[in-house]
Each structure stands twice: as structure tokens, then as C-alpha cells.
Amino acid sequence: MTVRISSLESGSLNTDSLDPSSLDPSSLDPISLDPSRQDAGNLTDPEVIDLHPAPADMQRLVIEGLSRSPKQLPAWFLYDDEGSRLFELICEQPEYSLTRTETALLESEAAAIAAALGQGVLMEFGAGSARKVGPLLEAMALQAAPAGATQAGPIPARPAYVALDISASHLQEACDRLQRRHPQVPMLGICCDYSQLEALPSHPLLNGQAHLGFFPGSSLGNFEPAAAQELLAQFRHLLGPGGKLLIGIDQPKASERLEAAYNDRAGVSAAFARNLLTRLNRDLAGDFNPQAFRYRARWQPAESHIEMALVSEGPQSVRLAGHTWTFADDEALITETSAKYSADAFLALAAPAGWHGAARWSDPNDDLCLHLLVQSD
């Protein structure tokens, strides 16, 4: 299978191939192995449109972030190829239950969620490996064409899927794998910083059907509250009138549990943070020594967030993006924050952005909540 990458920015067309032999057919889910469900018009070769921010934008954001006090960089910088790989590993750590909890909830509630969502194009913001969306796509397809049903009237639209993510190669792999599992679902990838995307690219897949946003993983928590509210308003703008948003939000819980989740014993969270410095060295001609910083994750109750930081071991200066940056002993570079919202706190954040809650689902321990938001007017 070939995944085509097209860059709208440069106007050039780039073609890349992935080796399908690396995919293990035994890992395919039963629905895609059932020939009766693989109807005509199988769609392979999902297109990936490349709208990745230009290096000049990265340089500007780094200069802005390192000029702040305390120093802090946008969380999406963590997700180069290696960062995306390390994040996948974090999701498998015993201390980090968020992904497992949300995946199980999406599986058990897929039919109810699909019924509440209705039909349309499912657009996943920050799709990453796109491993959570499968049950939803299956449930939506079943609702469009229930097994064994004979269609009298017009055939309801089948679901389509659009994945948006910052890591181009990760996105390629995710679209490729998902398309193999769901050959009947039209798919498109958009490589971008979705928080800065002014408009969706023009593409036939995005015409006609309702736009249904999917923002799992509590990634909203990685934005400061004001930016999180702006992002919710931005989603409303991107999804357009009638758009809905299904969003996963991690709830506040015991600080010991949260600090362990963000500082796993295997050291993957620390490696994930340090990889930011390796990435900056590579992309912006830096000379950070990642080992000269220790990793710290701490719960800050007043902000209801975990703050993750690399803390300078001694005074040091670093060259990056054409500037010299000094770090005092013990000075922190905040790599990201991860806010936790109760259901009420989240809905209060969403209201000024033009959303209200239509339904919600949570796991038996009430660790995480999936909210379905609809537009307020």
C-alpha cells in the first residue's frame, strides 16, 4: 500500500512508500476480516496533506518560549518521530492508565456514542497512532448500514475519517494501518499543528457531510486554560455549523497517582521530555546536553495540572536558534503541563467557546470522561 503525501504549502508533490509486509495480518480486527463486510469500492492509499509549520515558525516559537520566565515551549514540539514513538511507549506503562481507560470506554460505549454522534466525517485532532477510533468507525458504519438490513429509502452516508497530526511519518503509518483495517472507510490525513489551522484544506472528503470532531486522550489538558478555550473555539470554527465534538478529559485524582503516571519507573516519561532537547539540537542547530537536565513531574493543585519540566543541573549556557540561552542552577524548562478537569469545570471552560454538553460517558472509577459537545446556538 502506498501513502501519498502532498504538500499544499510548497505546491510540490512528494511520494513516499510504506512497506506493507511489515503489517501483521493477524492483528487485523474481525470486522475487517469478514469478507461480507468488505464491500465494493475498497479504498486504499489514503492521501496525506502536509501543512506542517515551516522551520521559521518553529524558530520563532522557540525564541518566544525561551524568553519567557519560566521558560516553556509548546507541547507539540515533543512530538517528532522519536517523541511520538516514546509517547506510544508511555501509554503502555503500568502507571499511565489514561489510554487504556479511554480505549476500553470507547469500545464498551461505541454504539451509544455513534448513535449520539450521528453520521458524518469523523475528524480526529492529534490522531497519533489512531488506535482508538476503530470501534467508533465500526459502530458508525453499522448504523449507516445495519447488518442484514435491506435498504428501502435513500442509503445513509457512510462514515469517513480524517486524521490530523503534527508528525508526518507517524500519520502516514497510522492512516496506512487504519485503512487496512477499515477498507470501506474513505480516509485522509492532514499533517499540521491543528491549534493553528485557520481553515480545513479544500478536499472532496470534507464536502457535504457533517463534521464530527474527535479529540481523545485528554490532549486539551496540554494547553493552558485560556489557550484550551481558544482551541475549543477553533474546533467549533473548523467543524462549522452543526459540527459536534467528542472529547476525552482526564479527571482530577490523587496526586500520588498522577505524579507516578507522569514519572514512570521505567523512565520513559523522562526520555520523552529529554528527546525535546535532542530534537531542538537537530532542527534548530542547538548544543543542549540532555543529560545536564533532570526530569521533574509535579502536581500543582492550584492549577489542577501536572507540570513536567527539565531542570538544569548547575548553571549552564546553551546555543540554540542563533542565540545563547543561560540556565541558572535548578532553573526549569517546562516541557508541558497536563490539566485535569472535573466534568463541571470542563463544561464551564467549553461554554464561552460556544459548546454545551449533550451527553457524557465515564469509566467505573470515574477516572476519565468522554464528553459529547454540541454547539450552543
Contact stretch for ligand AVI (CB under 6 A) within 140-148, 185-193, 216-224, 369-377: 216-224
| Cis amide leading into 352 (omega within 30) | no
Contact stretch for ligand AVI (CB under 6 A) within 8-16, 157-165, 176-184, 212-220: 212-220
Q: What is the sign of the dihedral through the CA atoms of 117, 120, 126 and 131?
A: positive
- Which is nearer to ligand AVI, 49 or 90 (by Cβ)? 90
- Which is nearer to ligand AVI, 47 or 259 (by Cβ)? 259
* 131: DSSP letter: -
**Residue partners of 138: CB distance under 8 A and separation at least 6:** 29, 31, 110, 182
Minimum CB separation from ligand AVI for residue 253, in Å? Answer: 12
Question: What CA–CA distances, in Å, run from 30 to 143, 146, 174?
Answer: 18, 17, 19
Bridge-based pairing state of the strands 305-312 and 293-300: antiparallel
- Which is nearer to ligand AVI, 129 or 222 (by Cβ)? 222
Number of chain positions touching ligand AVI (CB under 6 A): 12
Per-residue contact flags (x/-) with ligand AVI for residues 312 to 341, judged by CB under 6 A:
------------------------x-x---
Q: What's the rounded Cα separation, in Å, for the pair 194 and 230?
A: 12
Under rule CB under 6 A, which residues in 76-115 are in contact with ligand AVI? 90, 98
Under rule CB under 6 A, which residues in 127-186 are in contact with ligand AVI? none
User: In sequence order, what DSSP letters do the residues of 254-290 get, joined into one string?
Assistant: -HHHHHHHTS-TTSHHHHHHHHHHHHHHHHTT----G
What the block records as the C-alpha cell of 177 is 494501518
What length does the chain have?
377
Alpha-carbon dihedral 24, 26, 29, 31, rounded to 10 degrees: 120
Applying CB under 6 A, among 262, 341, 355, 361 the residue interacting with ligand AVI is: 262
Minimum CB separation from ligand AVI for residue 310, in Å? Answer: 13
Is 217 a binding residue for ligand AVI by CB under 6 A? The answer is: yes
Applying CB under 6 A, among 179, 219, 263, 312 the residue interacting with ligand AVI is: 219
E-strand ranges in the chain read 2-7, 13-17, 47-50, 71-72, 121-125, 160-165, 187-191, 211-215, 244-250, 293-300, 305-312, 316-320, 323-327, 332-339, 355-362, 368-375
- Which is nearer to ligand AVI, 134 or 248 (by Cβ)? 248
- Which is nearer to ligand AVI, 117 or 339 (by Cβ)? 339
Q: Which residue is nearest to ligand AVI (CB)?
A: 338
Applying CB under 6 A, among 222, 229, 234, 312 the residue interacting with ligand AVI is: 222
- Which is nearer to ligand AVI, 121 or 164 (by Cβ)? 164
Check if the beta carbon of residue 174 is closer than 8 Å to that of residue 127.
Answer: yes
- Which is nearer to ligand AVI, 141 or 373 (by Cβ)? 373
Applying CB under 6 A, among 103, 167, 218, 229 the residue interacting with ligand AVI is: 218
Residue tagged 526530569 (cell numbers): 295
Minimum CB separation from ligand AVI for residue 29, in Å? Answer: 24
Minimum CB separation from ligand AVI for residue 181, in Å? Answer: 23
Q: What's the rounded Cα separation, in Å, for the pair 98 and 250?
A: 7
Minimum CB separation from ligand AVI for residue 224, in Å? Answer: 13
Q: What's the rounded Cα separation, in Å, for the pair 220 and 201?
A: 23
Minimum CB separation from ligand AVI for residue 268, in Å? Answer: 8
Residue tagged 485532532 (cell numbers): 125
Applying CB under 6 A, among 32, 72, 269, 275 the residue interacting with ligand AVI is: 269
Under rule CB under 6 A, which residues in 337-356 are in contact with ligand AVI? 338
Minimum CB separation from ligand AVI for residue 377, in Å? Answer: 30
Residues that bind ligand AVI (CB under 6 A): 90, 98, 217-219, 221-222, 262, 269, 272, 336, 338
